[in-house]
Structure 1
């Protein structure tokens, strides 16, 4: 009798343990599924939230203009960074079939533009009723000219190296003028430790960059004089503009952008200086540029054949010491 009762009690315990094991497996499986669903939904939402935040802050600072839907170009639409090439093509296909846009919210009707994407881009679009006013010189000067002057310095004077030829103050003077079909600007930069004025440099300052860009209508897509960047072959040939992006969307990993872009940075190495022109006719395109500029290089003796050659380039742009000044623009 006692043996029968103990066996029954043991059987109940085993059943109870089995139920607990099954329940724990079920719960852990449910948590894993929820975690997978959470992680898969987190990536695009986080990407959109961060990206929209950057755009919103830039818009509040008046750094982003509203683009006329009926006059925006393909390159300007690609520059938003939120659209795939297929979505950009759908924009112009829709516009060609339906005519000019009547309202900014009409972008929700473009095939391939989901409502969330369309609503996120609506604040950056407009419909210009009287385009003629954009050609008024006075309005263009007031709305599109930007002059920036920046000063930065080292607070601790004891931190100044003794071999610096200039002061520890850095200065930048930037000018930007942009209107429909034209961009003009210049950048002047003086790094800490460099002289404000240098008589040995033709421009009189350590670094001067000037650019002028035209986007005429017709077969000629762009004409750039001065400093510009070149972007060919997804970077396998050359890609001097920024093109990386943190995104879970595979279609956005492809580098997009104009072949030639005006150079508006104060970096003193990664650009060309000369002239560039882009010609487009239906499905054919020809890009031509000519560039000539001096670079700062370091020379050394080859351990293989004993010849003297270039071992590296000065990409920092610093000319603070006599040694750095002597190596300035010593390679063409």
Structure 2
């Protein structure tokens, strides 16, 4: 797998986009991240600045980059060349950007002196140009890469975020690998989150483990608290459990599942959305410097000073695990 594909996958802490094979800037759909959270505002400003600098040279620059990127060329693609092209690119320049990325990746790493990371900027370019097909990698290769990366992180003792776990689990579910979904979800600490419950129920249903899926649904009813938001299941997860009950040979388990689904519907534990919507709920930027958050940090700091007696901190050099 090429550097570019890996960069795309790593860009958003596992594929934030893998479930969204849709137009990125279509106003009729919701996106996973707000424009500010994706850094599109700064990208647009930098794009405008670079284009102003290349007002009378853009076409000549493109021609030069075409020459450099040719397979028989011995020239190098420099970091600054690639940065400029990513901000100059129009709809007809995507292939040129990809050729430059491949050549840049194949060059000796000894020739790279900067630390610029292109993955996020290239993804912003795709977003800006409305090129989702070129940006997305919702495939078996994506699942394999994400699964391998998950295993490596587990081996070194690093626990990925819950959002990362739900994305890999959902991707596995969409790639007909519910066993991977079940395994990943089982390693997530917060089992009571609504997304985790839905993914678990869906995976167990696809694995024909109806009795276990029923147990997940039943717990949602048993812990029903009027002071808290109800635990709900999406319509496609409900359909998966219903289909599993129709395949179930043990009639008593099948009847219990169908009766429980009816009870969930009557008591408002089902929602008219699909699991994809739940997993891909938009993430917005949190203003850590706003007055409300400053107040929270001050209160938390005051509480810790008065209530906690932590031992003196050790300022040792961090180990490998701490740097992951």
Q: TM-score, normalised by structure 1?
A: 0.18
Q: Which one has more relative contact order, counting CA pairs under 8 Å at least 6 apart?
A: 2
Higher-strand-fraction structure = 1
Q: Which has the larger radius of gyration?
A: 1
Higher-helix-fraction structure = 2
